[in-house]
């Protein structure tokens, strides 16, 4: 088989890449500066070629879906942002197995499954991310998580090698995966679903959405649950018991509605959120002896 000729950095510059693209509106917390270089993805080959070409230029690379779990530096991202959005969100069924590209939103995935009377993804309907990020984080809610439906995951490695892994190989656990550990690019997945009743599935999704609206500050920009759940505790409960609801740094605030959420009440910067996070961590550790770890990915900026 003849190996495909990969796109060079110069070809990418002339044909595909955009410069100084604002990221603030592409991340759910609504902070951060521009990407030095930006690529909107429509096919896997170009995405992998761009990854390799940027690395060869000594540039860091950030894979971006819906940006629902990210803090981007206020100065911007100094490398290449590869964005997997609507142009990389195809879905198709093979029996009860759903094949999807990484850019499809979890809401669209759950809705597509329900429309086809297939159960297993109702829990994901309200998670504000994409399939790629959901798999890397093993996203979950309402006693469901991605590991319960994964059949296989299509990946690319930093050397450009493409391969699939099964559920066991993916090593999915609480907010962790092999893809996260090894810095792999998730391109798509096959998900095993089971027959269900369309109306019942829509009713379940509506109930989950209602619970989210009741308990979570969905009317404010945020990155979802900001901290991981510490063993034996709930982060939100510890923060509330420490009296930190409403604590504010700049435009960043511990939500009055759910203390596990740090929200953007207007004009917040990434620096505001990092300062607020550190103050919350300090006070919870001082009060309870529990070290809170961020669930949100804090993307580094320029070194030094």
The model's pLDDT over 207-234, given as tens digits with 9 standing for 90+, comes to: 999 998 999 999 999 999 999 999 999 9
- Whether the pLDDT of residue 107 is over 70: the answer is yes
In the chain, the percentage of residues whose pLDDT exceeds 90 is 91
Which uninterrupted H or E stretch holds 204? Answer: helix 198-215
For CATH 3.30.43.10, list the domain ranges present in the chain. 9-83
Q: Enumerate residues 6+ apart whose C-beta is below 8 A from 105.
A: 66, 89, 128, 129, 130, 131
- Whether the pLDDT of residue 304 is over 50: the answer is no
- Rounded CA-CA distance 71/269 in Å is 9
Q: Identify any residues that bridge with 259 across adjacent strands, giving them in sequence order.
A: none
Q: Encode pLDDT of 115-124 as tens digits.
A: 999 999 999 9
Q: Encode pLDDT of 135-159 as tens digits.
A: 999 998 888 999 999 999 999 999 9
- The pair of three-digit structure tokens given for residue 7, joined into one six-digit string: 């796109």
- Whether the pLDDT of residue 301 is over 90: the answer is no
For 106, phi then psi, to 5°, come to -65, -35
- Whether the pLDDT of residue 5 is over 90: the answer is no
Q: Encode pLDDT of 36-84 as tens digits.
A: 999 999 999 999 999 999 999 999 999 999 999 999 999 999 999 999 9
For CATH 3.30.465.10, list the domain ranges present in the chain. 89-201
- Rounded CA-CA distance 273/68 in Å is 15
- Whether the pLDDT of residue 303 is over 60: the answer is no
- The pair of three-digit structure tokens given for residue 211, joined into one six-digit string: 């619970």
> Which pLDDT value is given to residue 141?
86
For CATH 3.90.78.10, list the domain ranges present in the chain. 217-298
Could you give the residue numbers annotated as active site? 175, 225, 295
217-298 topology per CATH: 3.90.78
Whats the size of the chain, residue-wise?
304
Q: Give the model's confidence band at 2: pLDDT under 50 very low, under 70 low, under 90 confident, else very high.
A: low
Q: Encode pLDDT of 232-264 as tens digits.
A: 999 999 999 999 999 999 999 999 999 999 999
Q: Identify any residues that bridge with 38 across adjacent strands, giving them in sequence order.
A: 18, 81
9-83 topology per CATH: 3.30.43
Q: Encode pLDDT of 259-287 as tens digits.
A: 999 999 999 999 999 999 999 999 999 99
CB atoms within 10 A of CB 192: 16
The CATH code of the domain at 89-201 is 3.30.465.10
């Amino acid at each position: 088989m003849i190996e495909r000729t990969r796109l060079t950095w110069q070809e990418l510059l002339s044909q595909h890449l955009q410069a100084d693209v604002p990221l603030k509106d592409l991340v759910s917390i609504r902070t951060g500066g521009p990407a030095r270089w930006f690529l909107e993805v429509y096919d896997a080959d170009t995405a992998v070629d761009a990854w390799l070409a940027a690395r060869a230029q000594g540039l860091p690379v950030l894979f971006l879906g819906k940006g629902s779990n990210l803090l981007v530096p206020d100065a911007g991202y100094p490398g290449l942002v590869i964005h997997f959005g609507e142009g990389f969100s195809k879905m198709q069924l093979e029996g009860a197995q759903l094949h999807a590209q990484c850019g499809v939103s979890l809401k669209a995935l759950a809705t597509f499954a329900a429309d086809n009377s297939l159960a297993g993804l109702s829990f994901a309907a309200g998670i504000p991310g994409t399939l790629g990020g959901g798999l890397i984080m093993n996203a979950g809610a309402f006693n469901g998580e991605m590991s319960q439906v994964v059949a296989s995951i299509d990946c690319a490695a930093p050397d450009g090698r493409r391969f699939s892994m099964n559920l066991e190989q993916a090593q999915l656990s609480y907010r962790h995966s092999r893809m996260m550990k090894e810095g792999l690019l998730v391109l798509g997945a096959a998900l095993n679903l089971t027959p269900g009743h369309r109306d019942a599935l829509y009713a379940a999704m509506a109930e989950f959405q209602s619970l989210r609206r009741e308990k979570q500050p969905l009317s404010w920009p945020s990155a979802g649950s900001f901290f991981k759940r510490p063993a034996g505790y709930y982060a939100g409960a510890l923060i509330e018991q420490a009296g930190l609801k409403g604590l504010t740094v700049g435009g960043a605030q511990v939500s009055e509605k759910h203390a596990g959420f740090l929200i953007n009440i207007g004009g917040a910067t990434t620096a505001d959120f990092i300062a607020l996070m550190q103050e919350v961590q300090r006070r919870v550790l001082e009060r309870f002896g529990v070290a809170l770890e961020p669930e949100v990915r804090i993307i580094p900026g320029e070194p030094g």
